[in-house]
Structures are given as C-alpha cells and as structure tokens.
C-alpha cells in the first residue's frame, strides 16, 4: 500500500469506529479509549454500568473456549463494556495459572479476531497491521516471518521456511496469508505476560467461579478400557483435560502414543478421544494410524517422564522413567 505524504497523514489521523475498537481491544486506540473512562480495575465492580465488564470477561473466556463468542453490539455503552471485558479476561486467565487454558484462550481470541479481519476493508486491516508492528503485504522480511511462522510450522509444514519462496531477504506470501500471520501476531500478544501479582478484589468472585468451572469439568472425566488404578497420574490428568476440552497438541500426542504402546485396539482409543470437544473420527483414526506406523514409516513412542515433566504434565513422583513402565508394574501386581 503506497500513499502520498498527504494521504499518509490523513490515514494515520483517521480514528477507528468504536465498533472496530471493540472487535480488536488490543489496539492502542482501544486502550486509550478505555483509559479515558477513568476506571481502575479495583473500582470497576462499583460502577453502576461498567461493572458488567467483569461478568462479561468471565463469559468471554467460556464462550471463546466453546466457540460461541458472538458479542457484536450497536450501542456505545455495550461496545465500551465489551472493550473492558478483554483486559478483565486476560487478568482472570493470568490469575487462573493454567498454561493449557491460557493457550486455548489465546488461540480462541486470535481465531475470533481473524474471522473479523476477513470481513474488514483494506484501510482497517492496514491500520491494525501498523498497530501490531507488522510490515506485510504480498511479502514479509525473513526475520519477521520466523517470529510468526515458527510455531505455526510445527502443525503445518507449509509454513516452514524451506517450503517458502525467499527473494532478497523477503518471504513471498500467497493470498490471505497476511491475515493468517496477523492472527498469529494477535495470539502472541494475548499470551504476553501481565504485570499483575494479585487478583483485583473486584474480580475474585469471577476467578473463583472460573476455577470451579474447570475443576468441575476435570472431575467429571471417566477412564474406559484401562485398569484405572494402574494409570499414572499424568495420563489420568491428560484424559481429564481431553474430556474437558483443554488438551493441547503435546498432551494429545502423549496420550495417543501411550495408549498405542499399551496395545489398545484402535476402536478403544478412538472411543476415549471421542469425548473431546470438536471430535473428528476420521481425522482421529488417521492420526492414530500415522502414529502407529500404519500410514507412515515410523512408529512413534510415548515420551519419557522427563519430557512429560517439561510440558508441565507430570502430577506425581512415580519413581519410574516412563509412564508405560508404571502401568505395567501396577498391572503385574
């Protein structure tokens, strides 16, 4: 996008609509608008109108995690409350102290905003790129590309640098890939740590309710086809996360390879994974067959305890080096 100096001046001075700021509350202009309301997070629950942002912040998290977040509002007050719900949600997630939930929340926020970006006009998209500090059009500098695409390449090999066209220090992009990179930039922004040591008193109730929500989900989890008492706690925890819709890629891989290594039948493993949110049987069977070496040249094995610890999934000192060793020791007894 090339602008004359006069056009560039007008472009930068144009203020975004309040509705746009409510959709992308991480923007500097959105933060400035919220700051003008003159409310601290401690004072928020005492306000007769804007106190609604606290319950909306909790609701925002739960609806995002369940793909039900659809907050479009037309009136000024509702849009300001929606903007306030974003920092509230980030504080609640930070104080929840669950890295898996935090990761899922960041993914969901980025996914929601990506869907909105696809509907925006070019000028709005360019202003958001500028706010994110991104210089992207049909190409992007290699260093900037690597900051954004490295984590994406772990799930999709087409984002690996070796699979891209690089010319004069720039990576060429296909149509729509600039928005995908923006989505990743937003995800990283949502994941940035907050400088908050304690939960504001105004949000303590919402935080306790969130903790209860996730704890209740974990307690509902059931284990099938296995000697439940023989399972190491890391695996019962992962199965609980799976059934609660909080399992990430690493935990799914660990569980799948653990069950394959025990010799469970594919149908039995599929039944365990079927309790997950957004379950796709065809995709699950393909991935299990791939991990088992039926659709690949490699049979993948379950990581050892030291790796499981590094992912923050170890829940007890089992005095073994591998979770399958623990299970087999228990079943022999």
One pLDDT digit (tens) per residue for the chain, 333 residues = 333 434 433 334 457 899 999 999 999 999 999 999 998 888 888 899 999 999 999 999 999 988 889 887 778 999 999 999 999 999 999 998 887 788 889 999 999 999 999 999 999 999 999 999 999 989 999 999 999 999 888 778 899 999 999 999 999 999 999 999 999 999 999 999 888 878 888 899 999 999 888 766 655 455 556 777 888 989 988 988 888 777 888 899 999 999 998 888 899 999 989 888 678 899 999 999 999 989 888 889 899 998 898 888 888 888 889 998 888 888 876
Q: Is residue 236 part of a domain?
A: yes
48 and 85 co-located in one domain: yes
Q: What is the pLDDT of residue 166?
A: 95
Q: What is the pLDDT of residue 222?
A: 53
256 and 200 co-located in one domain: no
Q: What is the pLDDT of residue 14?
A: 54
Helix (H) or strand (E) holding 131: helix 122-132
Q: Is residue 156 part of a domain?
A: no
Q: What is the pLDDT of residue 9?
A: 34
26 and 124 co-located in one domain: yes
Q: Is residue 144 part of a domain?
A: no
121 and 269 co-located in one domain: no
Q: Is residue 147 part of a domain?
A: no
- Sheet arrangement for strand 170-172: 139-141, 170-172, 166-167
Q: What is the pLDDT of residue 13?
A: 45
Q: Is residue 148 part of a domain?
A: no
Q: What is the pLDDT of residue 263?
A: 87
Q: What is the pLDDT of residue 5?
A: 39
List of residues 6+ apart from 267 with CB closer than 8 A? none
65 and 202 co-located in one domain: yes
> Distance (Å, rounded) from C-alpha 154 to C-alpha 253?
13
Q: Of 219, 253, 277, which marks where a domain is finished?
A: 219
What is the span of the domain harbouring residue 234? 221-332
114 and 230 co-located in one domain: no
Q: Is residue 141 part of a domain?
A: no
Place of tokens 């307690």: 219
108 and 62 co-located in one domain: yes
84 and 118 co-located in one domain: yes
256 and 202 co-located in one domain: no
205 and 274 co-located in one domain: no
258 and 123 co-located in one domain: no
The answer to whether the CB of 116 falls within 8 A of the CB of 77 is no
Q: How many structural domains are present in the chain? A: 2
């Amino acid at each position: 996008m090339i602008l004359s100096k006069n056009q560039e001046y007008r472009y930068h001075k144009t203020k975004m609509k309040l509705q746009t700021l409510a959709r992308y509350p991480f923007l500097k202009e959105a933060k400035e608008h919220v700051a003008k309301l003159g409310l601290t997070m401690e004072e928020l629950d005492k306000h007769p109108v804007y106190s609604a942002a606290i319950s909306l912040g909790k609701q925002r998290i739960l609806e995002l995690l369940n793909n039900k977040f659809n907050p479009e509002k037309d009136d000024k007050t509702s849009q300001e409350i929606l903007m306030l719900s974003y920092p509230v949600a980030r504080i609640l997630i930070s104080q929840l102290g669950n890295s898996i939930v935090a990761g899922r929340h960041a993914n969901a926020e980025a996914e929601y905003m990506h869907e909105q970006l696809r509907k925006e006009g070019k000028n709005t998209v360019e202003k958001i790129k500028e706010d994110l500090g991104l210089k992207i059009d049909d190409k992007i500098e290699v260093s900037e590309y690597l900051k954004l695409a490295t984590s994406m390449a772990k799930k999709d090999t087409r984002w690996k640098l070796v699979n891209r066209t690089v010319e004069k220090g720039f990576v060429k992009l296909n149509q729509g890939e600039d928005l995908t990179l923006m989505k990743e930039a937003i995800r990283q922004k949502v994941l940035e740590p907050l400088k908050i040591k304690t939960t504001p008193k105004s949000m303590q109730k919402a935080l306790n309710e969130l903790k209860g929500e996730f704890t209740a989900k974990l307690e509902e989890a059931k284990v099938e086809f296995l000697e439940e008492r023989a399972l190491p706690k890391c695996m019962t925890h992962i199965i609980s996360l799976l059934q609660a819709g909080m399992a990430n890629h690493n935990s799914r891989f660990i569980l799948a390879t653990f069950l394959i290594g025990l010799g469970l039948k594919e149908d039995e493993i599929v039944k365990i994974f079927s309790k997950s949110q957004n379950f796709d049987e065809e995709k699950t069977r393909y991935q299990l067959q791939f991990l088992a070496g039926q659709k690949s040249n490699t049979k993948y094995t379950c990581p050892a305890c030291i790796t499981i610890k590094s992912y923050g999934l170890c829940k007890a000192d089992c005095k073994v080096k591998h979770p399958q060793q623990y299970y087999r020791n228990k079943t022999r007894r």
